[in-house]
Amino acid sequence: MDTATFNKRIKRVVITEEEIRAKIKEVGKQLSKEYDGKPLLVVSILKGAFVFMADMTRELSVPHEIDFMIASSYYEGTVSSGVVNIKLDLAHTDISNFHVLILEDIVDTGRTLKDVVHLLKGRKPLSIKVVTLLDKPDRRLVEFNPDISLFTIPDYFVIGYGLDCGEFFRNLPYIAEYNTEI
Ligand code: 5GP
């Protein structure tokens, strides 16, 4: 993609870098209190949550381990396929001695997280909690609610801060609305 097209695709900034940073600080404090003294495993769902993971874990003042999963319910582009694939599983083979905190970029239909939580619950962690950066509750197709949502947004396609369209735009430091009109 050339730079001119890249820039044209960014319709408007929806959540600024400063707003994201402030909210992550606030939630980081809350989670640090909650998990103090507990064995904690922070799991992020790649690729979209990699920036959120990096920023959120640095606001956690309590000791913790990290791990990753690749799970997706999306085809390339903006339309949900409705199929969830676990492409990469956790490196931790036994999570039964951990409180698991899942960090997700966005909850849309809810399918990915519902399946991931179900899968991980089966491995009997001490507890399991989901924190999502963004939530689009209007788009929900299955019953699933994250424990904490940093921002709730209406039904439009967003990019940036780890979120892509066709693998581009993950590097934007803010959340933007994607311009579908060009
Ligand atoms: P769900 O299973 O909840 O429908 O889908 C969650 C996944 O869909 C997210 O992790 C994300 O990868 C993708 N997704 C949903 N909405 C958006 C959006 O507005 N922008 C981008 N870039 N990805 C989205």
44 lines ligand 1 (CB under 6 A): no
**Catalytic residue from among 55, 108, 115, 164:** 108
Spatial contact of 180 and 78, defined as CB atoms under 8 Å apart: yes
- The model's confidence at residue 74, banded by pLDDT at 50, 70 and 90, is low
> Which CATH code is given to the segment(s) 3-178?
3.40.50.2020
DSSP symbol at 32: H
Mean pLDDT for the chain overall: 93
Average pLDDT over residues 135-144: 92
Q: How far is the CA of 116 from the centre of ligand 1 (A)?
A: 14
- The model's confidence at residue 76, banded by pLDDT at 50, 70 and 90, is very low
Percent of the chain with pLDDT over 70: 93
Annotation says 94 is catalytic = no
CA–CA distance, 149 with 13 (Å, rounded to integer): 19
Q: How far is the CA of 181 from the centre of ligand 1 (A)?
A: 20
